[in-house]
Every structure is written in C-alpha cells, then in structure tokens.
Amino acid sequence: MAELRTKEVDDLLKVLASLDDEDQIFALLEDLFTIREIRETSQRLAVARLLDEGNPYTAIESATGASATTIARVSKCLGYGSGGYRTALDVLKDE
C-alpha cells in the first residue's frame, strides 16, 4: 500500500489529524464523500465492533445489513490488517 501514500493522502491525513470538533469533521465528510460512502464506511466500523465482541456473521448481517463479503473483509482487516480498526475500536471503548 506504499503507493497509496501520496502527498495528497498525507495532506488529507494532516487535515483529519488537526480537526478535533465532530461537527467540523462531519462537514468535511459530507463534502468529501457521498451519503452512501459515509453510510458504508460507518457500517464497516459497526461490523468491526460486532466482530470484536464475538458476534457471528449472521447476527452481524441482521444487525447492520452488511453483506457476508463486507463482514469477511472487515474480519480479515481486524485479524491481518494494519491496525486501523483496532485503533478505532480502542477510541470507541474509551468513550
């Protein structure tokens, strides 16, 4: 994924890291992504949370509406990814 880490991506990371107001972040998400992309991304985080809690795929599918393919992809990232979902879940646990 090193080819993905471009100056433009680094600029986006700097912007995201500098924002600490949820309304500002939401406004940026609204401008950057379609409604569908925001929903799908949020759904993946919900799937990660449910997987982390040990829920079976069928329960996650019912609770979130995510496809088995999406659930499997998130599961793979949780187990073998770069740790992004783990970081996000740790943030949510601290709430």
Q: What is the pLDDT along the chain (95 residues), one digit of tens a residue?
A: 678 999 999 999 999 999 999 999 999 999 999 999 999 999 999 999 999 999 999 999 999 999 999 999 999 999 999 999 999 999 999 87
Domain coverage including residue 87:
67-95
Residue 4 in any domain: the answer is no
pTM of the model as a whole:
0.89
On whether residue 87 sits in a domain, the answer given is yes
In a domain, 78, yes or no: yes
How far apart, in Å, are the Cα atoms of 89 and each of 7, 9, 21, 40, 71? 27, 23, 19, 17, 16
* Residue 84 within a domain: yes
In a domain, 86, yes or no: yes
How many domains does the chain contain in total?
A: 1
Tell whether 39 is covered by a domain: no
In a domain, 17, yes or no: no
Whether 81 is covered by a domain: the verdict is yes
